[in-house]
Chains A and B, each alone.
Chain A
Amino acid sequence: MANDTLSKLEDAIVEMKADETEALTKEAMQAGVSALDILNGGLLTALERVGVLFRDGDYFLPDVLMCVKAYKNAYALLDSELKKGAYKSRGTVMLGTVHGDIHEIGKNILLALLQGNGYTVVDIGVDVQSAVFVEKAKEFKPDIIGMSALLTTSMPAMKEVVDLFVKDGSRDRYKIIVGGAPVSHAFAKEIGADGYGEDAQSGVELVGRLLAG
């Protein structure tokens, strides 16, 4: 019975039924399934299936984002329970577009997908002064800092941010990743970043790899 509810919940997320996931989650909780089991046995399994559908080209970005919405409706009910127990969020990622650059769509897509994959995400906006990255990192204590740049003229600001973390002595506390149309693996390496993602999906995978150590 409880297993049946969990598999229905999983299907509802995969099938983008955002208005059903709340009821199904409640049903499972009433049947005595723990929040952690619902998360592991329904929610995360659903997101894995969504990931496969996306990779195989069956699902497109809007489909994934609707699945994420369905997932979030369920997750919201579990959040407080999970925080009481041994469960830790998968990690916190802080995202911003660097100084001199107002392109934000790429950053926002990455943000949505990270949230959908169970990460806590802090968005510090666009045209973010380099020093502000360091300030905000102190405030939010992210595991990962992601920077986006779409202009060749704003790319140097990425290096500036990395250098500021080095100067601040806090570089080792965070993993720093970069992306955006003109950015490349080689550039990421050159400025001393920990990783580069060519698109939002590889950004999510990159975050997963970096957090796994």
Chain B
Amino acid sequence: MKSGKYQVLSESEIRTVHEHSMRVLAETGIRVVVKKMRGILRDIGCAVDEETKIVKFPAHVVEEYRKKAPREFVMCGCDPSYERLISPDTRVFSGLSTAINMYDLETGEYRPTTLKDVVDHIVLIDYLENVHTNQMDIWPNDIPMQTIHVETMRQWALNCKKPYTLGSYGVMATKDMMHMLSLIMGGMDRVKTKHPFNAIISVQSPLSTAHLQIEGLMLMAQNGQPCIMAPEAMAGTTAPVTLAGLLVQHNAEIIAHVVMAQAVNAGAPVFYGTVSTIAEMRRGTVALGAIETGMISAASAQMANFYNLPCRAVAGCTESKTIDVQCGTERAQSIMLAAMGGANYITCVGTLESSTAAAHELTVIDNEIIGMVERALRGIEVNENSMALDVIKNVGPDGNYLMQEHTQKNFRTEHFIPKLADREKRDIWEKGGKRDMAVRAREEAKKILAKHKQKDIDAKLAKELDDFVKSVAARSLDDFYAAEWEA
């Protein structure tokens, strides 16, 4: 079984990219917009300019601190028995945040997303076998903005056994997230060795940081919870137009964020993340469905491997606004490249329109695409049983294999059996109403949603969650701003 890895960089190219990134960090540096963080970086030996907020990272400091990050860690769900190892050798698939419009399951028209869409999405993820975790993949437009983080976490606890992720929205929100986590899991002790919750730390390319994100990074790291360091650099606008140039820059950005987390708390789990893409060169807008996104994800996985870190990569996105051929090819091709490239945590399911819109039928379709990709990556097993010499002899010329026990014993593992792809004869397909894959996926989604029942959670916990959400709702936005740390 030869591995089907897709490698875009040679060993020596990985090293050169690394060396160039180290020069960027030491010579140009990164703007770090939270004073406390700059103080910590100064203490570990970085050169800090308080005027410009530029921090330069000497190579020896980077080497020392990046190595403190763990190679692997365990993620679990709200149900702690649901476990997944996160490491450079494993692979999980996730949802992809945060759509603001919904491609409506009933009408096929766009409309603003609601809390119900969030819940339905969480439910789908809970049921779909190839999707292992989710994030706040859908942004609810119908509840007060200051409650979104806690309300979505509550819905996660009520409806899903798998892990969850949110963006990082500053000091108060991150503290709220830790409090919710503690309530849901029964104390922070319970999340010390297994992690049901991640935060995405958006990196401000080129070479900068975002205030709320660094605050989130610091609090997550302090609590020993995993951070996904994720630049969304676009080759041609916020990164060099050349893919190698983008890699040099975004690698520097990611490693700087890894160093920051380790400087706050050595050993805090991190992901080497990427949402980097190319820019659409007519408008300057993002081209998430571009083939180059898959190449960047694959290269990032190679870089992450070089650093002994798990890689989180974006995939499954499309610029298409409808469920058409473009939508299908872009999502399949990028999921394939990210997985074949060796990414370990692939955020991919359920979006269209450059990840600004969500569709439940696409979540179900992506589950099937992942199944196919996993089958491809499993490769061809070659052994006495699979080479089937005896069976070939037995069947002989002009025979057939359908009646063989060997066939019955092996078909389920040897063949990927699609639930949604149509392989019927045309007359059967016509009789069935000429339904295409999107229609079948829509029915599947509805079926799952219809049978779902909210979890039976402890009444005391339900009340605690409810009370906390209410107390957050009672705060004003100014309370959130007031809690922020000095820039």
Partners in one complex: yes
> Chain A residues in contact with chain B, CB under 8 A?
54, 57, 60-62, 102, 105-106, 109, 152-153, 181-182, 199-201
Q: How far is the CB of B115 from chain A (nearest CB, A)?
A: 13
Q: How far is the CB of B389 from chain A (nearest CB, A)?
A: 58
Interface size on B, residues (CB 8 A): 19
**Chain A residues with Cβ under 8 A from B241's Cβ?**
62
Q: Is the contact region of chain B dominated by helix, strand, or loop, or is it mixed?
A: loop
Q: Which residue of B lies closest to A110 (CB)?
A: B284
Q: Which residue of A lies closest to B139 (CB)?
A: A152
Q: How far is the CB of B152 from chain A (nearest CB, A)?
A: 14
Known A152-B141, A182-B356; contact A106-B284, beta-carbon cutoff 8 A:
yes
Q: Which of B282, B284, B356 contacts A105 (CB 8 A)?
A: B284
> Chain B residues in contact with chain A, CB under 8 A?
100-101, 139, 141, 145, 204, 210, 234, 236-238, 241, 281-285, 354, 356
**Chain B residues with Cβ under 8 A from A182's Cβ?**
100-101, 356
Number of A-B residue pairs at CB separation under 8 A: 38
Q: How far is the CB of A167 from chain B (nearest CB, A)?
A: 19
**Chain B residues with Cβ under 8 A from A105's Cβ?**
234, 237-238, 284
**Chain A residues with Cβ under 8 A from B100's Cβ?**
152, 182
Interface pairs (10), CB distance under 8 Å: A54-B282, A57-B282, A61-B282, A62-B281, A105-B234, A109-B283, A152-B141, A153-B145, A200-B283, A200-B284
**Chain B residues with Cβ under 8 A from A62's Cβ?**
236, 241, 281
A61 to B278, CA, bound (A): 13
Q: How far is the CB of B238 from chain A (nearest CB, A)?
A: 6
A184 to B345, CA, bound (A): 34
**Chain B residues with Cβ under 8 A from A60's Cβ?**
281-282
**Chain B residues with Cβ under 8 A from A54's Cβ?**
282
**Chain B residues with Cβ under 8 A from A106's Cβ?**
284-285
**Chain A residues with Cβ under 8 A from B284's Cβ?**
61, 105-106, 109, 200
A106 to B283, CA, bound (A): 9
Q: How far is the CB of A185 from chain B (nearest CB, A)?
A: 14
**Chain B residues with Cβ under 8 A from A201's Cβ?**
283
Q: Which residue of A lies closest to B234 (CB)?
A: A105
Top 10 nearest A-B pairs by Cβ distance? A60-B281, A109-B284, A152-B100, A199-B283, A153-B145, A61-B284, A105-B237, A182-B100, A60-B282, A61-B281
